[in-house]
Amino acid sequence: MKQKKFHRIIFKNTGLFGLSQLIKMGVRLVSNKVAALFLGPMGIGIIGLLENILALIQGFTNFGIASSSVREIALVTNDTLEENLQEQRLLKIIYKWALTTGVLGLLVTLLFAKRISLEVFESESNYKWIMVLGIYFIFTSISTIRIAILQAKTKVVSIVKYNIVIAIFSSIISIIGYYFFGINGIIPVVLFTSLIGFLVSLYFTRNIKILPSSISIKQTFKEGLPMAKLGLLLSVSVIFGQICFYLIRWFLKENYSFEILGLYQVSNTILVGYLGLVFTAMSNDFYPRLCNYENDKESFNNLVNDQTELALFIVVPAVFVLYLIAPYLIKLLYSKEFLEVLLILKIGLVAIVLKAIAWPIGYIPLIKGNKLLYLKQNLLGDGINVIASIVFFYYFGLLGLGLAMVVMFLISGIYNYYVAINYYNFKFRKDTLRVLFFSIISSIIALFSIFIFDFILFNPILIILTLVSGIYSLRHLKNKI
């Protein structure tokens, strides 16, 4: 019965988050289409590079407070007065750290504005706009912390509403900016989007109480330091990942062109931005919930197994559908200029199935408090990604970028499982292993069918696989929920 309860809770909350992500994806389709039409592959490449650099600065300056605070808040959240006061004190400390790290991001941006402008736009002429963009880090730091608090307190409905509102406003801003100003609208769009995120996050966390009494700077630093230490390790992982993505983008831009960089950016948008929404939706509920079962071995293992099954039930049919409609989807979302992205997706889509297996077990060391082991897992995956992407692109072109993703998730998945069984005695249940086997075999068959028939709508093997996987997933979900 407990296992059915887990499945029911996971499915319900993932469904709510999934709904917001679908709406988010829907409104982004329009803004992406506008960006593709008015910016072209070059403009898309610039957006990807700018976002990469902003993420790097944020990784260096935010100390991972948002990520580490989720666990701490989840552990102290309670209805008792004593623990409620403890939570309010913790929230006040977290807010102060958020503002401080945001200001630090602003200072770094001011310091390197000319260099960033030269790297992104190949000219220093936009450095004043880059300096103004530094405010982005204050807005983003505060909004990210506030949404992390909602996540820790499992305020599912509030997070869903926040995602929907942000998606709608962000798309409107993007459409106006790109339509009227083209490439010159990229920085204002990023800045105004972060401002909207900041304002909306304030609204949705307005009823969350913090300690009314003041806390000294010394106490704020002392009590927030443990979170900063954990967050710093998580930040190292994020920073290293962003550096790896930057190296791939730099390699493509310097040795090939902004157009190739744009194609790579679009592939990431589809694989990470669209299919990745499944994992984003799940992580909002999975991470804080898993924290609650840290000391309950049976429930902990069952929750990881259930999450793995649910991820595969959703991802596998979604991947097969994307294989069928990818050419039409790219023309709809972007334009014919981006059809070469299909070469990346040809193998890259299968990588998402592997990610669905590696992703839930990858959380285990983090929840168990083994920060260094969690860091090793992430560094291994990102390191493999950058090396494989550069080497495989050199030999196989765009096809190699998709192959690199498969290699990354295959090796990191094997390592994550090795860590889970050897350090934490984790095991996949028999029913979970059957789902894994079905997912992997059907994905291999789908991959072979793509190399035989290429991307055509009436691929008989893929149509059968899509129907079978859809029925398989629905039947199992019905039994488990």
Asked whether 94 and 66 are in contact (CB, 8 A), the reply is no
pLDDT of 257 reads 72
If asked whether residues 47 and 149 sit together in one domain, one would say yes
Identify whether residues 329 and 194 lie together within a single domain. no
Which H helix or E strand runs over 457?
none
Out of 246, 280, 307, a domain closes at: 246
Do the Cβ atoms of 262 and 49 come closer than 8 Å?
Answer: no
Residues 238 and 301 in one domain: no
Single out the residue in 213, 246, 279 at which a domain terminates: 246
CA distance 1 to 307: 16
* N-terminal to C-terminal alpha carbon distance within the chain: 10
Say yes or no: 216 and 353 in one domain.
Answer: no
Which residue stretches of 153-257 are H helix?
156-181, 186-204, 217-255
Question: Is residue 127 within 8 Å of residue 183, measured between CB atoms?
Answer: no
Of 63, 94, 96, give the one whose Cα is nearest residue 77.
94
pTM of the model: 0.71
Residues 67 and 146 in one domain: yes
Tokens of 387: 């090396």
Query: Are 334 and 395 within one domain?
Result: yes
Size of the chain in residues:
481
From residue 83, alpha-carbon distances to 119, 187, 219 in Å are 49, 43, 19
**349 and 441 housed in the same domain:** yes
In a domain? residue 284: no
Q: How many domains does the chain have?
A: 2
Q: Does residue 228 share a domain with residue 318?
A: no
- The Cα–Cα gap between 226 and 238 comes to 18
Residue 276 lies inside a defined structural domain of this protein: no
CB 319 within 8 A of CB 349: yes
Q: How many CB atoms lie within 10 A of CB 372?
A: 9
Give how far Cα 209 sits from Cα of 69, 76, 89, 139, 220, Å.
16, 14, 9, 20, 17
CA–CA separation, 137 and 98 (whole Å): 10
> What integer pLDDT is reported at residue 20 of this predicted model?
61
127 lies in the same domain as 242: yes
Amino acid at 307: Q
Measured distance CA(417)–CA(436) in Å, rounded: 13
Hey, what amino acid is at 128?
A: K
Q: Phi and psi at residue 213, in whole multiples of 5°?
A: -75, 155
Q: Are 319 and 208 found together in one domain?
A: no
Using alpha carbons, select from 141, 118, 123 the residue that is nearest to residue 60: 141
Q: How far apart are CA 255 and CA 245, in angstroms?
A: 15
Tell me how far apart the alpha carbons of residues 257 and 261 are, in angstroms, rounded to a whole number: 6
What is residue 435's predicted lDDT score, i.e. its pLDDT?
Answer: 92
The pLDDT, as a whole number, for residue 175 is 87
* C-alpha–C-alpha distance, residues 4 and 287, integer Å: 19
Q: Look up tokens 């509102």; give the residue.
A: 165
Q: What is the DSSP letter of 123?
A: S
Task: Check residue 442 and give its pLDDT.
Answer: 94
Q: How far apart are CA 380 and CA 448, in angstroms?
A: 28
Three-state secondary-structure class, residue 328: helix
Which of 471, 172, 151, 459 minimizes the C-alpha distance to 323?
Answer: 459
Task: Examine residue 173 and state whether it is found in any structural domain, yes or no.
Answer: yes
Alpha helices in 269-296 (DSSP H): 277-291
Instruction: Decide if 283 is inside a domain.
Output: no
What per-residue confidence (pLDDT) applies to 349?
85
| Torsion sign, CA atoms 198, 238, 154, 102 | negative
Judge whether 98 lies within some domain.
yes
Per-residue pLDDT of the chain (481 residues; tens, 9 = 90+): 445 555 565 555 555 555 666 666 666 667 767 777 788 777 877 887 888 888 888 888 887 777 777 767 766 665 554 457 777 888 888 888 888 999 999 999 999 999 888 888 878 878 888 999 899 999 999 998 888 888 777 777 788 788 888 888 888 898 898 888 888 888 999 999 999 999 999 999 888 887 777 788 888 878 777 777 777 766 777 788 878 888 888 888 777 777 787 778 777 777 766 566 667 666 666 766 777 777 778 888 888 898 888 889 988 998 888 888 888 878 877 777 778 888 888 888 888 899 989 888 988 887 787 878 888 888 898 899 999 999 999 888 889 888 998 999 999 999 999 999 998 888 899 999 999 999 999 999 999 888 888 777 778 888 899 999 989 888 887 776 6
**Residue 379 token pair:** 């560094």
Cα separation, 393 vs 328, whole angstroms: 25
Q: Under a CB-based contact definition with an 8 Å cutoff, are residues 341 and 401 in contact?
A: no
In a domain, 216, yes or no: yes
In a domain, 281, yes or no: no
Question: Which of 218, 246, 274 lies at the terminal end of a domain, its last residue?
Answer: 246
Enumerate helices (H) and strands (E) in the chain, giving the number of each.
18, 0
User: Which range marks the domain in which residue 389 is found?
Assistant: 293-481
Instruction: Note whether residue 40 is domain-resident.
Output: yes
Residue 108 near residue 135, CB atoms below 8 Å? no
pLDDT of residue 184: 87
How far is 67 from 227, CA to CA, in rounded Å? 9
Nearest in space to 353 (alpha carbons), one of 326, 384, 322? 322
**How many angstroms separate the CA atoms of 233 and 230, rounded?**
5
CA distance 302 to 290: 10
**311 and 209 housed in the same domain:** no
Regarding whether 192 and 333 lie in a shared domain, the answer is no
